[in-house]
Every structure is written in C-alpha cells, then in structure tokens.
Structure 1
C-alpha cells in the first residue's frame, strides 16, 4: 500500500470517515471500553465479507441443486443435462483432460492425437479447460466424468455468488445477510441458468466480473498492486472470452466509482492509471495462452458471417421474468425481489443524488448497448458470435444486483421509492406479456415472488414501529426474502432445464454404449502402427470419451485446412464445418491408416432419461503405415487444387486409381420428390453415393434404403455405401427426397476392391519401416534410397515443422492437406514436431509481464519502507 493510501480513509465506503480515525478520549476505563468496542467492531467488519461469501455460496449451491432435483436431471434425476455443446464439447473435453492429466492419453498439452487425425490441443485447452476448477476432474473415476462436470459447474456458480457478496460489502457496508442473497441472485441469474450452466467455461467470466471489480477497488485506493494483476491474469487464463466482457464491465464500475466519490481529479487519474497498469500486466501474464487461442482462431474453419439481429424490447422485458428460456434474447432474470430493489435506486433519496443519477444512466446505457450492433460488436471483440448473441448479459445482471445493493445497504428504501420500484417491475412484467419466451410458470412465479417479497418489506416496516414481537420481524423478513428470491430461482432452474430438453438438441448420458466401446477400442488399439476409429458413438467428440484416433472432432478452433480437406474427400460435418465426422470408407481408411474400424449399433432410440446401450463390433483391414513414400511425387508439380469429385480426390491423395472411371449417370424424374440414377460399373464393385447437401434416402436396386442428411452450410452429408454392383453391371439408385435435388456431377462411385488392395500393398512395401509418435512429435524410419515425398497421414495444420534425415527442420510442406516431406534419396528417416503458433511470442510477452509485476511489487514495497522510516523519524 502506498503512503498516500495509508493516510487516506476509504473514500468509496460511506461508513469509513475521517471522524472514525480520532483517538479515544476520557479516563483510562473509558478508553479501554472504547478500545474493546472498536476492536469488536473492526472484527465484525472484517468477518462480515467472510460470512456473506460463505452464506452466498451455500445458498447458491442449494438453490441450483434444487432446480435440478425438481427437473429430474442428472445427477439428481435420470434425465440428461447434456444440452448442445455441454454434451458435444465440454463433457468429452473433460473426459480427455482427465485421461491426459493421469498420463494415459496418446498426446500431450500440444497435440491431441485422438481427434481430427491430430489437432492443436493447447488452443482447445485454453478455450475449454484452462479454469483451475477443471483440474478437479482427476478426483472422479472414468465413468463419473458427468458427475465431475456437474460438481465443477456447481462450484463455479457458488464461487461467483461468494465473490459478488464480498464485492457488495466492499462497495458499501450493510447487512451481510442481504449481500449473501443478492450474491446468489447474481450467480443464479437467467444468464447462468439458461446459458452458463450448459456452457461451463463461460462461468469463469461470471466469477471474474466481481473479482475484477474488486481489483478496480484496490486500484482506486492504490492497494494490492501484485494481487490485482494476478487475479486479472487468472481470469483471462481461465476463459479470456468472458473475461474480456467482465473487464469491460469492471472498467465501467470503476469509472462510476471514481466519478461518484468525492475525490480530486488527481486521485481519479491515479486510480485509472493503477487499474490500467494492473490490467495490462494481468493480460500480459495470460498472453502465452491467449495468443495461442488467437492464432488458432485465425486459421479455424470460418463460420458463415452472422448479422446481428436486435431483440424486441418486449422480449427484453419478458426475459426479466422467471422461467423463460431463449437463445435469441438476453437472459436478464435476477429474481423479482432483487429487481424491485434495483429499480428503487433512481427514487431512493437516502442515496446520494450523483450516485443515483450515474448508476441509473449506466444501467440504461448498458441495456441499450446489448441491442445496438456497434456496441454489440464491442462486447464480442468485433465479431458477432454464432449461436447465443447476448453472451455479455451476465455483466448487466451484475450491475443490476449492485444497484439493488446500493439502494438497500442502509436499510429498506422508503415507501415512495419502494412503490416506484414495484410499479416499474409491474410495468416491465406487463410489457413482456404474450411474448413467445414466456412460460406458463412465468407469471405465477413472478406474482408469488413479488407478494412474498412485499411481505418481507412489510415485516421490516412493522419492525421499525416497534409493534409486539418486533425483534423477531427482521428475521422473518430475511426468511421471506430468501424464500421469495430462492423459490423463484428454483422454479426458473427447473423450467429452464425442462424446456431445453424439449426445444434444443441434446446428447444422451454416458452409459454402456460408450464404456463397451472404450473397452473394445483399448483391446484393438495399435497406435501408432495404425489407427483405431471408434466411428460415430452417441454424442460428439467420441474419441475423447472412448479413445481411438479418428476424424471426429468438434471445436471452435477446428482448423480450416483440416475441415476442408476432409470435406473434399467425402467426409461429413456438423456445426458449419467445425464438427467433422467419421467416414466408413476403405479408401479413406487406407489414406489415414485406419486399420480397425469400430461399429456401434444402438439397441434403442436415444431417450433423455435412459443411458445408451449398443452392440459393438469391429472390422480389421490391412492399411499402409502412417508414413508412406511416393517416389514419383514432386511437390513442385503436385496437384494444388481439389477436383469436383470426392472419388477423384480420394484417388489423388491415395496415389492410385481404385474407382471405376466416371460413367455417364442418367437421371430420371418421374415425380416430384423421387428420382432414379442409372450408370454402369464393374460387377461386384462396392457402390457409394455422395451428396453433400442431399436429404433423403438412396436405395440400390434390391437393397435397403440408406438415409442421408445434408443441409448446407450447417450440415454436410457423408459419403455412404449403398450396396454392391449386380452381375449385370447396371447400377440403379432410387432417391426419395424433399425439396430440390442438388447433387454433384459424380454422385456415384464404384470401388473395385482388388485395385485398392494392390495400392495398399504397394504403399506398405515402400512405406516407413517404423513409426514413433510422442506427445507432439512424430518420426519414422524409411527404406534406404527413398526418393520423392514422404506423406504423413496427419493434417498439415499450422505449427508443424519437419525435417528429413539430419536436415534442418522447416515449416512442414503439404500435399492435398497432409504433411509432406521432400526426400533426396539420402535421408533414411523423417521427424516432425508441433508447436502451437503464438506460443513463442506469447511466452516472451508473459515473461516481460512477470518482470513488470515483480518490479511493481518491489517498488511498492520500497515505498512502504520509506514511508515507515519517515513515520518513525517523525515520532522520534
């Protein structure tokens, strides 16, 4: 603490005044009593934040769990919680994170060998797993990862409640019990229940906002110059995306605090400079990870451009009600009692006029900023997100809770202010009437919570009039406040979970289907001699859960080069290219050295309240090694562009003709929604149908219908086998579909297996004699005299460097999306290593920030010693 801060009282706390610093007067006994009273008062003041934080954490935990219990969701019920990305991303990533931490993964912190045929894991780690809470997954068994994720989610919510409760008491002294309830209101806002609980990484931003506001308070009074930047760095490391939004919100709170306090312009400027220094150092400490994520985002599969669509203001009002859910509108619910208290602030004459005016204006401006495209882009770092557009809503919820605290910290607002708040809440409730987001539980829950909250207010008013039993009335009022706030939130949590299962996509819970597959994959695993692909198990990112090394991969950072390559080879995808899927095709199995392919046949359609069960089988085939040698391939003259046909593209990458030459396909359209494709092929060949944007069925004459589901740009259909060419050589594929028929020119390919077997045999004979794979390295021994190009069956994503023999490692070359290493006939080995782009520069920035942090701590420590020395000299 600087000498100036030591000498000055806490300007931000009305209860801390210069008058309290006067020494006690009177006789010795009086001074002793005064000293004891001061000690007890100070102790109570220091313990109040602890009590508030603990109470908020417990209350938030109980309320959140009660909502899940009433909804019957796992682990308090039988229904799945795996809504959208919770099941497709966060659950699998935590399963893989546990495996990696325990040393059982194929890769390391840099490379995930299980997904996408080899992906940049450090970027994914920073996006999904860098919160300290995520380390708790190692304390749970492999079959309890869902329970671990639920515990982690609950702990994050309770931490956010505790942090907000502590912040409220730091902003203004008041009853810690009320601060605890309001802290819970923030942690269990509609944003948490509707968005954050199903995207757990965002909950780190929920925690970060009150913590960063505390950092701003410390900066304002020149306190904790080292701890502040450390908290900023931790917040940005845990989840930089929501930490960025939380930083904007905390900066706004700091500005309000600076310009509503009676401080000089010099002290305000000093506070801003202290805060700027702390934020810059903190972000610098997080840069090694943040820059890696930024670089990975630049090369990620681009999603279609999203144009922000403002929400109707009636929907804003409706989302303040309980039991509403929507991905297209901001989840603003904080509980009706807390909302009433927040809306009393503009009318509460017990609060300074400047504070009322500035905070009220700030709330209105922030609400407007959510729905205006230029400020919407600022909140989201310049890019309108796919999916939920109002991801910054938790900041506005936090500001509303702070406003509620400022209006009630000194006691219940007077009747005029309280009445005005109730009228405003009723008007907002009426404005939301009839909106689509409103649930049948919304208005009953709203009415009951308002009524019980008013009863709590009445109990406090009666207590002031000293009616009989007045001493118990504050306790009754608090109980009613907790009941109104908590009960309404429980109902909101219950209905949100129930509505999500009905309205959005979900994945089944982990069960025997995944565990049986994991055992089968482990028994067949032959990595790195060949890959074992688990196929498409119920859920997403299957390899992270069951093991193996396949194509399936779902991440916000899915490399564009990898996604594009797989698409051109006939693979399908979801999520507009960021969720690549497995492809059951012998040619691509040979290209990617998939020696064992697993198959999972569900025993029943997936149900929300049932664990999946399936029959697991496998097929094994001979495939080339992970590294093959193409003696006639010169990268300078190699194909640089893909063909329009996925069948031709597969042949180019494989280096051999294995499909029948493209024959003329005759289309017959006897009726709308039906067509027949006719062509000729080698008898006995396998017939494959490819229609990236085809939705319907394809049936080979005499065979069974095969379903296809292509909805570009969101979903790309995979190539699939439909049967075998009959002895006549005539292929007739009947199509049944909806809408327009959109097919590529060559939608049918006939694979002659004998040609593929010959190609595999040749590639195996000339390929690597030994392949070794480390955490983020790959090396192979080659036959003596190998020339041409060594092709590695790994996507050439940014960060790979390779060398041949003892040569100098350079940025890896590419052959149609795969890593390629030129050979000169002298090298008998190749080696490749992966380093996530941005790590070197980010590490340098991080080291510089650490030096600045150490220098800051040293300077402040030196200033304190000098101040202490001057004080001792003055006393002497």
Structure 2
C-alpha cells in the first residue's frame, strides 16, 4: 500500500502510521488527514440538511404545521421521552426500577433499555417541557446524522479514496428507505443504524489487532442503546468481517484470519457482557410481556422487492432497500469493475446477493429476528443490506470512477431492475420521475469524472495555447462531478423522504401534536396530585401513554414490555386496550376507580375535531370522590358475589361486594332488553363490539372493538328510568356476538357502602418512595393486604419485620398475607434479571480490564530493545 494511503488509514483509525511526532498542519502528512475528518463531517452536514429539507417539503413539524406523530412515534416514543426528561430532572414519583405513572405501576428499567438507553436520548434535558416534540426531532436527526458520519468513517477506513464520494455514500446509507420508513418513526431503531458501521469498524480493529479495549466498549454501547437492532447490526458486521478476512491483503494467511476472527468474537462477547445488566432485564421482561399473536413469515413478491430499490416507495410488507439511484448504480458496477481485484469483487457481490436472499427465506428471516417473526414490518434488518450496498459502491468507486464498460453494465442492471418493478403496487407517481432525473444527473456526473481520469492518467503535457488555463479546467472537472453527484443523490433523497412521510400520514394511525389540550390536563393533574394518598387519573388525551405526557397515575400504558398480568387483569375488569393487549387504556368507571384508589379524575371534552395540522384543544373538568387507600385489607373469606366471568362479576370479586344488578338480557334484532332498579346506572360491556349503543332517549355511545388488536372498554349508557326498563339500541358496523352478560346496572349506594368498609379497614397511612410502598395498618388486621397495583414479576413484600418474599396475587393485584401481628406491610419492586445481569456485567468488566493489561504488557515487550533491559 502506498505511504500516503497508509497515512490516511492510520489517521482514520486514530493512530499515526510511523509512531513518530505529530506532523504540522501544513505538512504533506498533515494535509493527508483531511479525508478522515472531512468525509464524516461532510456526510453529517449533508444528511442533516436533507432531513430538514424533506421535513419542510412534507410540511411536517418543526418546519410545518402537520404532525409527525404516526403510530408508535406518537403513542410510545414521544410520551416516553417526555417522561424521560421529567425523570432525569427528578420530577417523577418513580425511580429507575418502577414507573408509577403507567399501568397502575410498571417496571421502568426494561423500558429504559428498550426505548431510552441511547446516549442521544439524554439531549431531551436541554429542551423545555413544552418542546418535547422538538427534542425528539432533534434526537432523531442527530442519530441519523451520526449514522451517515459513521458510515463515511468506515468507508475511508476500509479503503482510501475521495472523501466527497465517501460523504455522499455515508449520507446515502443514513437516508435509506429503511430510515424514512422505519427509523424516522421508530427512533430507538436508529441506534442500530449507527451501530452497524461502528461494529464494522470494531471488526476492522479486531482484524488488524488494534483497540482490544475500545472495541468491546463500542459493542457494549451499541447493545445498551438498543439491543434489538444491535443484534441485527452484529450479524451484519460479522458478514462484513468475513468478507474482509477473505479478501483483504493484510489477512491473506489462514492463521491471520483465524486470529482476527477470534479477536472479534472476544470483543463482541465482552461487549455484550458489559451490556448485560440492561439486556438481561429487557430479555426477561419480554418473556412475561403480553404475548402478541404468532406471525407467519410470507416472503414478498420479487417485483415488490425490486421496487423498494427505487425512490418514493413505502410499504411494511416489503424490504425498504432504497439507498439512492447514484449509490445503487455504483454498487451494481462492482461485479464488472476490472480495476478492483477479482476476489474483492466476488466477495462483496456474493455478500450482497446472499444477504438479499436471506431476507426472503424463513429460516434466515428467523435468525435475523432472534427466532421470532415480528408482528408488522417483517424486514426490520434491511438497514444492514443497505449498508452492504453502500460498501460495495465504495469499493467500486474508491480508486476512481468505474470504467465505461463497468458503467454500462451497471447501468443496464439498473434499468432492468427499474423495468422489472414497474408493476409493483408500491410504485408512487413520483418514483420514476425522481429515478430518471437522478440517473441522468449521475450519468452526467460520470462524464467529467471520466474526462479527469483520462487527463491524469494519459500523462500528456498541456496544450501550448493558454497553458495557464489548463490546470484550472482540470481541477474543475472533479468538482463538477461531485456537485452533480450530490445533486442527484440529494434531490432524490429529499423527494423520497417527503413522499414516504406523506404516504404514512395517509395510510396509518396518527396522533396530533402536543397542544393546549395536553397543557390544560397537565395543569389540572399537577394541582390535584396527592400521591400516594390516592391516584390522579388524567383520563383520555389524544395520543397514547397519556400519563407519561401529562402526569398522574393511570391505566394508560403502551410498551413492548407491558406485562401479561397487567393486560389480562385490566381486561378482565372491563378496561380496553389497543396493540393486541400491550396498550391498556383508561376506564372511567366508579368501581374500578375505587379498586385502584383513583380519587381524582380529569375529564376532557374536545372543542373541535382533532386534526393533523392543528393543535388539539378541549374543555377540561376535574372530579374528586372518596376512595379507599392504596393498600386495603380483605377478609380471609371473600363474601359471595355474582358468579360468571363477566367484567361486572370480576369487579365485584375484587371489590368484595355486590354492587351491580346483573339482569338476564333479551335480544331482538338490534335491541338488547333488560330490567334494572330505577335510578341505577346502566353499563354496557362488549369488548369485541364495534359500533354505537344508546339507551332509549340517551345519546349514542361508540365502541371500537376490533379483535384481536383492539378491545373496547365498558361504557356507561345512562340512568335507568323509573320504569326500570332498559332498552339498548345497537348500530353495529359488523356482525358480532355479544358476551353472555353485556349489561350491568350499578347501584351507587351499594358501592358507597363498600368504599366506606374498605376505607375503614384499610391502611391508615401509605408512604411511597421510588419503587417501595410502606403501609401502616390497624392493629390486629387479618386476612390479606392488597396493594392496588398489578402483581407483575419483581414485587417482593413483607408483613412487619418478616423477610421479604415474592408477593402473592389477589385477583391479579399485589397481596400480602396477614396474621394479626403485623402493623405494617412493605413492598419493593426489583426488575427480574438485575442480579444476574449485574454479575455477568461485572465478570465482563474484569475480563476487559485483564485484556487491557495483557495488551499493554504485550505492547511494551514488542517495543523493548533486543536483549531486554540488560542490553540497554
């Protein structure tokens, strides 16, 4: 390798080539450092500018009035980041172990590891509370920008070449179709986008025997930030390392290849071990999470796969493979580029083809997704293939523009690909115009680049006429080529980002921006909050995970780690849910308010329809009612209650009192009839029902059941008239079978009596600190103390001075047996897997320290003069 190239590689790797003193900035060696800095910096700036342009073109926040909060971005990531900001600033009731705001008490460390453990997420503390959306957008942009810079850095490390091309390709990777389709709306997955080039760089260090300590640290950061996509990135980095071991000149021997592979394996294992305290908690959390229906993988039609290489295409059912027409064209020239060594061409071409095929074969699909086919978006690993395509394009262009024969062959493949995809349903009206213009600009960029290459390789002297102009013209050719290349890649990426965002807003669920509605509810919650004396329920706010944005302690909770016991317990009591059970929602019911000690409830009535391009507004009211304390005492023997498994009967069993009349019902066509006590409140429970229901003379109440994804909560229909006749008119949107007991009539006097009884025998004082609850009981209390929180894995309780033991369950809630001698009960929550993960992490840390010490000693021996100290 030429000395100049070696200097570039060493500078990118953070090491001087000769080990000598640092050269001055103006020296030739100092100038050679420019690619190592200029390439990643230019990639970052270009990526950030194009992201902002795409957002502006789509009229999305913060460069327009339209919401970006589609699906999980609005229902998970925005609320979690709002809570994360409050948590980091010490403004929450819970701690790192437990989140008291959500799901009546949910484990938080697993959610941190799933959604919030990226170092980039710490940026939210730099923004005020009413600018969380802006903070999340900035976090998203910074992650994508970092991915572009990391890829440019990797390319220059793998092979020296023109840094502007590395910058363009780095930006192409960062602004791939995967990024616009998934990453921009699932920000936690963007950490995998950043991790892939960094893990490939770790592989380069392992292959050449460098950075034995820094490598595992990078792996640990990647797996800590988001282990789901880091797992995929690690597989992709292993593919890259394998190709490099087989094709790079530095590892031409079998011993060198084996040593490099073993060093890489050691680094990955140590890094994963360092991340174990968080990874193990998340992994065990998924084991007890509410299970989603099993998904069977069905490969996409190849026409759909080919279409996703083109701009402005969007779909969850096919892999998002767009990297830009210029970048794709360069990748397609590699097999035909005679300037590249045959084994390099064969190695990278084979890697791209095999990884592409692995997306479509179920066994390898399961390997990519850790053995379980995901629900929604079966091609989440596509960013790895996008990275491989970019690397292939770099190896073809690093030593100059490919020759005309390679350009012609690659262009022909590109044209065939575009023609084969023309019948795909994913083709947008912008697809072929953007593709054609980008291809034309890329071809135009190749012409001055080829002319410059001929001029520099022919060795002919400049023309005798106007000799002073010849060098300037020669210097302008590569500049013109780069400008045209940037224009082709940038314009197409901006159009693609714009169209994908617009298509997503039209086709999937969305949430409005945070606005006056949220602010009004948050203000009322803050004024009413009396935790842990009782809970304050913020009620329905547009979006999801509402309590994480506005505060309070409610049922609303949406996480991949929503415990099955939480989902099932709440569903059995009449609560509704979305996302197949992982998003329980609030239930405005006085019985469940008593069960979960909800003393203050905020209710909202929107003043105008919720729109994508306007801030939501509502009239907010607050109601406070007496409820039992957070810890109550139940007798040894439960009083007899109504039989059956209806939500009304389940509420009564947990309450310990009959408070409903459960009449037999008749159904004639679309009318449900029953008889109840006059003045009682009629409730309708039909979790799978979608449509309207109205008590005679009362307004219609809507239900949104859609099994298995959506379960409708029970709803109040109105007061039973003096006649006692209950007639419910249904207006279903589809045929549905109602449960056996869909009607319950609440007698308020019975409920008030039950509340008074539970209050009289319950805790006299409750204290809550972070993940621990302590309750003072009446002397001689017997039976079972019940903490109004779902009995999720990790709760340990004790009565009096007894040793804490795993909590028992009382109808799904945390329970502690009482024998009449204890005056207090204490319950603490510790995430399952924390001790195991900590032990693994400590072992990995000790092994990493030992690795560093041994490497340092080996380095000293290598630099020791022959003959040892005595020879000196």
Q: TM-score range by the shorter chain?
A: over 0.9
Q: Is the 8 A contact 2:598 2:627 kept in 1?
A: yes
Q: Once the 2 structures are TM-superposed, how far is the Cα of residue 37 of structure 1 from its aligned partner?
A: 11
Partner of 1:701: 696
**Separation in 2, partners of 1:11, 1:380:** 40
**TM-score normalised according to structure 1 size:** 0.94
Residues 1:258 and 1:658: Cα distance change in structure 2 (over 3 Å): same
How much does 1:707 deviate?
0.6
Tell me which residue corresponds to 1:830: 825
> How many angstroms does 1:297 deviate by?
0.2
- Specify the alignment match of 2:499 in structure 1: 495
Deviations 1:414-463 (A, max 9, x none): 00001111111111111111211111111000000000011100111222
Provide the secondary structure at the position in 2 that maps to 1:554.
coil
Measured against aligned partners, the alpha-carbon deviations of 1:38-91 in whole angstroms (never above 9, x if no partner) come to: 994433343311111111101100011100011110001111010110000000
Aligned positions of 1:105-116 closer than 5 A:
105-116=92-103
Cα offset for 1:353? 0.5
Which range is displaced more, 45-54 or 466-475?
466-475
Residue among 389, 393, 409 paired with 1:420:
409
Find out whether 1:203 has 2:204 as its counterpart: no
In the alignment, structure 1 residue 409 sits paired with structure 2 residue 386: no
Q: Which residue number in structure 2 is paired with residue 482 of structure 1?
A: 486
CA shift at 1:14, angstroms? 13
CA deviation map 1:698-733 (0-9, x unaligned): 111111111111111000010000011111111111
- Indicate which of 306, 328, 331 corresponds to 1:342: 331
* 1:526 shift after superposition: 1.2
Query: Matches of 1:697 and 1:460 in 2, distance apart?
Result: 67
- Cross-structure match for 1:357: 346
Structure-1 separation of matches of 2:626 and 2:185 = 42
**Native 8 Å contact 2:526 2:551 kept in 1:** yes
Shift of 1:36: 8.4
Contact 1:638–1:815 (CA under 8 A) maintained in structure 2? no
Taking the aligned partners of 2:569 and 2:289, their CA distance within structure 1 comes to: 13
- What does residue 651 of structure 2 align with? 650
CA distance in 1, matches of 2:710, 2:435: 40
Give the one of 172, 175, 182 matched to 1:185: 172
CA distance in 2: counterparts of 1:758 and 1:294, whole angstroms: 45
**Please, which of 551, 570, 574 is the counterpart of residue 570 of structure 1?**
574
1 CA distance for matches of 2:11 and 2:183? 36
Given that 2:24 and 2:30 are in contact with CA atoms closer than 8 Å, whether structure 1 keeps it comes out as: no
Task: Look up the match of 2:64.
Answer: 77
SS at match of 2:620: strand
Which residue number corresponds to residue 173 of structure 1?
160
For the pair 1:869 / 2:856, whether they are aligned, the reply is no
Return the TM-score normalized by structure 2. 0.95
Match for 2:848 among 839, 848, 853? 853
Evaluate the alpha carbon distance shift between residue 600 and residue 63 of structure 1 in structure 2; reply closer, same or farther with a 3 A threshold: same
The runs of 5 or more residues in structure 1 that have no matched partner are 1-8, 25-34, 670-674
Alignment CA distance shift 1:23-1:497 (3 Å): closer
Q: Deviations over 1:819-874 (max 9, x none)?
A: 01000001000000000000000000000000000000000001111122235859
Conserved in 2, the CA contact under 8 Å of 1:12 and 1:261?
no
Report how far residue 465 of structure 1 moved: 4.5
Give the distance between the partners of 1:327 and 1:12, measured in 2 at CA.
Answer: 41
Q: Go from structure 1 to structure 2 and tell me whether the alpha carbon gap of 1:37 and 1:807 turns closer, same or farther (over 3 Å shift).
A: closer
Q: What secondary structure sits across from 2:68 in the alignment?
A: coil
What is the aligned counterpart of 1:63 among 34, 37, 50?
50
Aligned to 2:736: 741
- Helix, strand or coil for the counterpart of 2:120? helix
Alpha-carbon distance, 1:11 to partner:
14
Q: Does 1:138 align with 2:156?
A: no
* 1:633 CA displacement: 4.0
1:299 maps onto 2:294 in alignment: no
1:738-787 deviation per Cα after TM superposition (whole angstroms, max 9, x unaligned): 33231100000000000000000010001000000111000100000100
Residue 523 of structure 2 corresponds to which residue in structure 1? 519
Corresponding position: 1:588 with 2:589: no
SS at match of 2:503: helix
Determine whether 1:455 maps to 2:450. no
Partner of 1:319: 308
Whether the 8 Å contact between 2:8 and 2:160 is mirrored in structure 1 is no
Aligned residues: 846
Contact 2:232 2:381 in 1 (8 A): yes
Q: Aligned partners of 1:60 and 1:11: how far apart in 2? A: 27
The 1:424–1:97 alpha-carbon spacing in structure 2 relative to 1, beyond 3 Å, is same
What is the correspondence of 1:668-683 to structure 2 with a 5 Å cutoff? 668-669=668-669, 675-683=670-678
Q: Are 1:796 and 2:791 an aligned pair?
A: yes
Contact residue 12 and residue 171 of structure 1 kept, 8 A: no
SS at match of 1:628: strand
Whether the 8 Å contact between 1:633 and 1:789 is mirrored in structure 2 is no
1:281 aligns with 2:291: no
Instruction: Please list the CA deviations of residues 453-488 of structure 1 after superposition, one character each: whole Å capped at 9, or x if unmatched.
Output: 111001112223449623211101100000000110
Counterparts of 2:867 and 2:531, CA distance in 1 = 71
Q: Distance in 2 between matches of 1:570 and 1:178?
A: 59
Aligned partners of 1:378 and 1:23: how far apart in 2?
43
Q: Is the 8 A contact 1:343 1:424 kept in 2?
A: yes
What is the Cα deviation at residue 500 of structure 1? 1.0
SS of residue in 1 equivalent to 2:731: strand
| Partner Cα separation in structure 2 for residue 870 and residue 396 of structure 1 | 47
Match of 2:660, SS state, is coil
Aligned residue number for residue 89 of structure 2: 102
Q: Which residue of 2 aligns with 1:213?
A: 200
- SS, match of residue 304 in structure 2: helix
Cα gap change, 1:621 to 1:370, in 2 (>3 Å): same
Distance 2:499 2:100 in 1: 40
Q: Deviations over 1:798-830 (max 9, x none)?
A: 000000001110000001100010000010000
Deviation string 1:561-596 (CA, Å, 9 cap, x unpaired) is: 010000000000000000001001000000000011
- Cα deviation 1:590-643 (Å, max 9, x = unaligned): 000001111111111111110101111121111000000112348xx999x994
**Structure-2 change in CA distance of 1:599 and 1:256 (3 Å):** same
Structure 2 residue 542 is the aligned partner of structure 1 residue 547: no
How far apart in 1 are the matches of 2:630 and 2:141?
43
In 1, the alpha carbon distance for the partners of 2:8 and 2:152 equals 17
1:666 aligned residue: 666
What is the distance in 2 between the residues matched to 1:180 and 1:45? Answer: 16
Alignment of 1:767-782 (within 5 A): 767-782=762-777
Q: Aligned-pair distance for 1:664?
A: 1.6
2:865 alignment partner, SS class: helix
SS of alignment partner, residue 732 of structure 1: strand
- Judged with a 3 Å threshold, the aligned counterparts in structure 2 of structure 1 residues 23 and 596 are, in CA distance, closer, same or farther, namely closer
Partner in structure 1 of residue 221 of structure 2 = 234
Matched, 1:535 2:539: yes
C-alpha displacement of 1:21: 9.5
Assess, with a 3 A threshold, how the Cα gap between structure 1 residues 37 and 538 changes in structure 2: closer, same or farther: closer
> Which of 730, 735, 748 is equivalent to 2:725?
730
Moved more, 859-868 or 510-519: 859-868
Equivalent residue, structure 2, for 1:808: 803
Match of 1:194 in 2: 181
| 1:47 pairs with one of 21, 34, 37 | 34
SS of residue matched to 1:290 = helix
CA RMSD of superposed structures (Å): 2.2
Aligned counterpart in structure 2 of residue 692 of structure 1, from 669, 672, 687? 687
